[in-house]
Amino acid sequence: MEGSERRGPRFAWLFAALWLFYLNENLSALLATAGGWQRDVGLAALAGFAGLYLTMVWSFSTGRDRPLRMWAGLLALLALTALQVPGAGFHALTCLVYVGASAMAALPWWQAAPLSLTLVVTAELLTWQVPGWDDNGYGLAVLLGSAATWGLRLAGERQIRLRVAQEKLADMAVQNERARIAADLHDILGHSLTVVTVKAELAQRLLDVDVDKARAELRDLEVLARDALADVRATALGMRGISLPGEIAAARAALAAAHVAAELPGAADDVPTRNRELFAWTIREAVTNVVRHSGAGRCEVRLAPGCVEIVDDGRGAAVPGPGGQGLAGLRRRAEAVGARLTVGRRDDGPGFRVRVEVPS
């Protein structure tokens, strides 16, 4: 992972500073050494080691680490560890724990693991081969420190990936909600504006024939426009509902305005509640397309508890092609509840059929 993706807590260096307590072994050994360049160089190297270690932790936690820079830092830590050996002796091996942990935190695993293993072997060999050096478990400490750091790194990376995934899911939810609202607005406005257009054309023709009927159509236009505006506002707020009886009534008015003979169900009581919303959208979309595209003279809506079917006797263009947003939205709604949408030419005569069937 990139440094920015492995970014740790902002104040990780404070937590790392607490672990410098274990360098007290080095400090005590150096202070117990008789005065001379060994002690002075060792104390300076110990102070430099602590400062460089904290700097590397800060660099890593802020995402500013780079592999070459981290390797240079690790080599510098090893050099500072070696400078403590003349004064602190085998106690300087404590620093190898910090070097191994830093490698595991900052380097790719395929670089960090061999380095940490090398440090473990080095600690064991030195305490075994150098006369007077005691084995205080430095090799085991390097191994455990490196393994613990690697475990913390994996846990942190998983947490970061989880957070990124949650952010992506949130973005997808927003995009899906926008798409849903856009589809609903298309269906609502497509239906309402189609009826408004038909009624406006009818009112224009009636102006020279029957002024009273023209006024009545204009009043209907006003009501339709207000209803459409209310539907758009409610949809944008995510509060819009749709009712099957309401869509049957709206279909009756739309077909009458388009001078299409309509045969509609008188009631929808037999339709289960779970199917009513889908059937309502089906009637709305199909009737809108009949009025807008088909040139039909007759339209029939057949309603049953498990299916709804809209057929007409038009010229066979009642439903737009696969790119039509209304049909695409209806198909998504049907698939969401496991229903089957059938669109095509009628088998029993001229015209088109739209059918939605919900499995029992």
> How confident is the model over 187-246, as pLDDT tens digits?
667 777 777 888 888 888 888 888 888 888 888 888 777 767 766 666 665 555 677 888
Residue 329 lies in a domain: yes
pLDDT, one tens digit per residue, over 220-232 is 888 777 767 766 6
- Show Cβ contacts of residue 39 under 8 Å, excluding neighbours closer than 6 positions: 30, 31, 33, 87
What pLDDT band is residue 97 in, cutting at 50, 70 and 90? very high
Q: Which of 120, 151, 167 is the last residue of a domain?
A: 167
Residue 323 lies in a domain: yes
The whole-angstrom separation of Cα 82 and Cα 166 is 47
Does the structure show a pLDDT above 60 at 9?
Answer: no
Q: Are residue 155 and residue 40 in the same domain, yes or no?
A: yes
Rounded to the nearest angstrom, the gap between the alpha carbon of residue 240 and the centroid of all alpha carbons in its chain is 25
Both tokens of 35, joined, read 């005065």
Return the exposure string of 86-95: e unless at least 16 CB atoms fall within 10 Å of the residue's CB, then b.
bbbbbbbbbb
pLDDT, one tens digit per residue, over 331-360 is 888 998 899 999 988 888 788 899 999 987
Does the structure show a pLDDT above 80 at 291?
Answer: yes
State the chain's mean pLDDT as an integer. 82
Helices (H), 94-208: 95-106, 109-129, 138-206
Domain range for 274: 243-360
Q: Which of 113, 143, 167 is the last residue of a domain?
A: 167
The total of structural domains in the chain comes to: 2
Question: Residue 344: which CATH number?
Answer: 3.30.565.10
Q: Are residue 18 and residue 144 in the same domain, yes or no?
A: yes
- Show Cβ contacts of residue 219 under 8 Å, excluding neighbours closer than 6 positions: none
Of residues 94, 101, 92, 93, the one with CA closest to residue 73: 101
Q: Are residue 137 and residue 259 in the same domain, yes or no?
A: no
Q: Which of 167, 189, 213 is the last residue of a domain?
A: 167
What beta strand segments (E) does 213-321 contain?
261-263, 298-304, 307-312
